[in-house]
Amino acid sequence: MERADVDTTIRSLIEPFNKKGIEIADTTTFSGDLEFDSLTVMDFVAAIEDEFDIIISMNQQAEIETYGQLIDAVVKLQG
């Protein structure tokens, strides 16, 4: 799947979690801009894993701080 397609899919998945209606860009941070707490992160990651049929390890999750990093990680995990 192309990066643009992954971006489009993840944008639809993030909507219910984006309570403040923050505009999403590659530089948007999950903890700072979107104010995701640990439970929200777990639910959001589960939605992504289900949608793309991938596993994002805890180590990978710890390294992903921005929306752009998440898209790149999903593209890479899809191989």
Higher-pLDDT residue of 75, 1:
75
Q: What are phi and psi of 56, to 5 degrees?
A: -105, 110
The number of folded domains in the chain is: 1
What is the structure's pLDDT at 10?
98
CA 38 vs CA 5, 60, 62: distances in Å: 26, 15, 11
CA 62, CA 77: separation in Å to the nearest integer? 15
Tokens of 52: 């793309």
The whole-number pLDDT of residue 79 equals 85
Strand-pair partners of 66 = 29
- CATH number for the domain spanning 32: value is 1.10.1200.10
Each residue's pLDDT tens digit, 25-73: 999 999 999 999 999 999 999 999 999 999 999 999 999 999 999 999 9
